Amino acid sequence: MTDQTRRTFLQQAALGTAAMLAYPPSTVLGANDRVRVGMIGVGDRGNDLLGQVKSVSNVEIVAMADVYSRRRDHVKGRVPDIQTSDDYRRLLDMKDIDGVIVASPLHTHARHFVDTLAAGKDLYAEKTMTWSIPEAEKCLAAATGSGRVVQIGLQYQSSGSLTDAKQWIRDGWIGKVAQVESWMSRNTPHGKGQWVREVPSDCTADKVNWSGFLNGRSDRPFDPFKLINWRLFWEFSGGNCAENMVHQIAWIMTALDLPEPSAAYMSGGVFSEKDGREVPDTIAVTLDFPKDIVVTWQSTFSNKHYGLGDRILGSDGTCEHHFDEALEYWPEKTNRPEGESMKGKTHDQDHMKNWVECIRSRGTPNAPAEIGYRSAIAVHMANLSYRSNKRITLEEAKASTPEFS
Ligand SMILES: NC(=O)c1ccc[n+]([C@@H]2O[C@H](COP(=O)([O-])OP(=O)(O)OC[C@H]3O[C@@H](n4cnc5c(N)ncnc54)[C@H](O)[C@@H]3O)[C@@H](O)[C@H]2O)c1
């Protein structure tokens, strides 16, 4: 769209004609049009995503909002003309932004999600979609029927391995699946805690919009450690289920077309990283699904020998998935005596590019709000089970009230 047509459009939109109301701003972009992007929360992940979106052709990054001045200064070094603010609402007020990338801490996701859609903008929202189940309901409702393009940062939804797994399952090579095993493991040098980040010396109260970060959590004096290390505390985080299980469970749910779990049980604890964190470093989750399938996910921060993977165990074959590697298949000789082992061949798609292309085409991206929702429910059920020290059903989880709001 030229600046002239963009202006004309905005004028028409301001007039509020029925036709224009049916086609809010970004839906009028043509195939060759520039997509203007804003970003909310540009820390570690936000900087990765900035690099990714910069590499998609005909995208302009026009603005970013972050509560911490160091992050704004850093991004200005990468995108000199960018407009910056410590308040995301200023960014959402900007009429010339088509899509917003949100990579803020988990406890702020729902607010940024809902307000971005309410501002009529398309959205790339980092996982986990929300911090709680009520927030997940709210975000799904906001996305449904909004006409906005929503991509959740579950990039393995764009992986070739997922396409291959779905095809092999459809082709009947796996057979009846009753169990899926998945695991994620890391290690850290002695004396250093997984996820712990050093607090920069300029992280002082005058450089941070602290109430913006708190996002309605109880007011308290500025705490730089929590700002930087929010992942370690339940008030802001969902622990490793929200950080990592979510990727794997979304992949498994999509491969096997699973609904939300019917029940969850999670055990574990802070066993290796005794540094004052609240979220467990050692985890065993069991998720029951209505289709007679049980999925387990284990994680540790004190041994990485087996890395990260998923195994779909079927009566006719086994499918093994390691992120960033081709999918592997082995037949079960009991039921497929002539079957051959094989490797997946489908290439990954660029998840960010998929979002931008959908902004132009108004198509549905690979990780829409619906899989964001289902995977978030699984995460929250696991955490609710751990925190209440009992198996929890879907109904109990949905009826429970979050501890912080
Ligand atoms: N998809 C993936 O593979 C992947 C990988 C890493 C992280 N993530 C997700 O990305 C998100 C961010 O993680 P991170 O490691 O970059 O955290 P981070 O702490 O490095 O970055 C978060 C940024 O948000 C800013 N911020 C905090 N509150 C804000 C607010 N109210 N408004 C605007 N900015 C605010 C912080 O100052 C910081 O710069 C998390 O949800 C995380 O789970 C996804």
Give me the DSSP letters along 154-168. -GGGG-HHHHHHHHH
DSSP 3-state of 332: coil
In angstroms, what is the span from residue 178 Cα to ligand 1's centroid?
36
Q: Measured between alpha carbons, how far is 292 from 295 in angstroms, rounded to an integer?
A: 10
213 lines ligand 1 (CB under 6 A): yes
Which tokens sit at 260? 């939300």
CB neighbours of 2 closer than 8 A, spacing ≥ 6?
Answer: none
**Cα 355 to averaged position of ligand 1 atoms, centre (Å):** 19
Tokens of 377: 């429910």
The letter for the amino acid at 400 is: S
Q: How far apart are CA 60 and CA 83, in angstroms?
A: 12
Q: Assess contact for 386 and 267: CB atoms under 8 A.
A: yes
Q: Is the CB of 45 under 6 A from ligand 1?
A: yes
44 CB within 6 A, ligand 1: yes
CB-based contact 293:311 (threshold 8 Å): no
**Strand ranges for 191-245 from DSSP E:** none
Dump the DSSP string for 306-325: T-EEEEEEESSEEEEE-TTS
Atom 38 (ligand 1): residue with closest C-alpha? 43
Q: What is the pLDDT of residue 32?
A: 60
Per-residue confidence (pLDDT) for residue 30, from 0 to 100:
47
Q: What's the confidence (pLDDT) of residue 11?
A: 36
Question: What pLDDT, on the 0 to 100 scale, is given for residue 291?
Answer: 83
> CB of 243 closer than 6 A to ligand 1?
yes
How far is the C-alpha of 78 from the C-alpha of 98, rounded, in Å? 21
Half-sphere exposure of 315 (CA within 13 A, CB side): 7
Cβ of 41 closer than 6 Å to ligand 1, yes or no, is yes
Give the distance (Å) from ligand 1 centre to CA of residue 209.
15
Distance 102 CA to ligand 1 centre (A): 8
Ligand 1 mean position, distance from CA 44 (Å) = 7
CA–CA separation, 179 and 3 (whole Å): 55
pLDDT tens digit at each of 405 positions of the chain? 333 333 333 333 333 333 333 334 444 554 468 999 999 999 999 999 999 999 999 999 999 999 999 999 999 999 999 999 999 999 999 999 999 999 999 999 999 999 999 999 999 999 999 999 999 999 999 999 999 999 999 999 999 999 999 999 999 999 999 999 999 999 999 999 999 999 999 999 999 999 999 999 999 999 999 999 999 999 999 999 999 999 999 999 999 999 999 999 999 999 999 999 999 999 999 999 998 999 999 999 999 999 999 999 999 999 999 977 889 999 999 999 999 999 999 999 999 999 999 999 999 999 999 999 999 999 999 999 999 999 999 999 999 999 887
CA of 90 to the centre of ligand 1 (A): 19
Atom of ligand 1 nearest to the CA of 40: 33
Which of 48, 64, 66, 184 most suits a substitution to test ligand 1, by most atoms within 8 Å of the C-beta?
Answer: 66
Q: Is 88 in the pocket of ligand 1 (CB under 6 A)?
A: yes
The gap between the terminal CA atoms of the chain, to the nearest Å, is: 42
Cα 398 to averaged position of ligand 1 atoms, centre (Å): 26
